[in-house]
């Protein structure tokens, strides 16, 4: 199997997409599959570029023994479409912006994370709700279901 390259994307790259990046890295590592995956995250906006992961998101990851040390927000680029096999957004607004940045999705690489689960929809946005546990649950389920599907 060739290395699968996955980019998780949200609006600012400080809450949901870095949570997904580091959760996916953990479950891939726990499965002994690190060599088969390359995983990053990015933003659709420029608002948080260079900022670290939002402290409540960092704390939620730490509760589960996951570190995101050194991660700073970056913006998704058109070139990411060629670099990655899957570009996974957290909500419909992300998907629209991702398709705009990439000038559409001719290779059908852009998906919502929750579409890999039995309950398709959007990942809860803790920026507005303050509920990082709900986001954790969505991200954990989404990443585990994604790995199951990629493994066949």
Active-site residues: which are they? 10, 16, 125
SS3 40: strand
Backbone angles phi, psi at 143, to 5 degrees: -70, -40
To the nearest 10°, report the CA torsion of 143, 144, 149, 152.
140
SS3 147: helix
């Amino acid at each position: 199997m060739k290395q699968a390259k996955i980019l998780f994307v949200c609006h600012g790259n400080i809450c949901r997409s870095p949570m997904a990046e580091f959760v996916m890295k953990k479950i891939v590592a726990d499965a002994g599959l690190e060599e088969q995956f390359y995983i990053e995250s990015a933003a659709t906006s420029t608002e948080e570029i260079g900022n670290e992961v939002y402290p409540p998101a960092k704390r939620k990851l730490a509760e589960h023994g996951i570190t995101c040390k050194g991660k700073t927000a970056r913006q998704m680029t058109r070139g990411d479409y060629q670099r990655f096999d899957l570009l996974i957004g957290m909500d419909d607004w992300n998907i629209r912006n991702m398709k705009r940045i990439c000038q559409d999705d001719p290779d059908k690489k852009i998906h919502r994370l929750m579409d890999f689960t039995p309950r398709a929809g959007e990942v809860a946005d803790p920026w507005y709700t303050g509920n990082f546990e709900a986001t954790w649950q969505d991200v954990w389920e989404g990443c585990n279901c994604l790995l199951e599907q990629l493994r066949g």
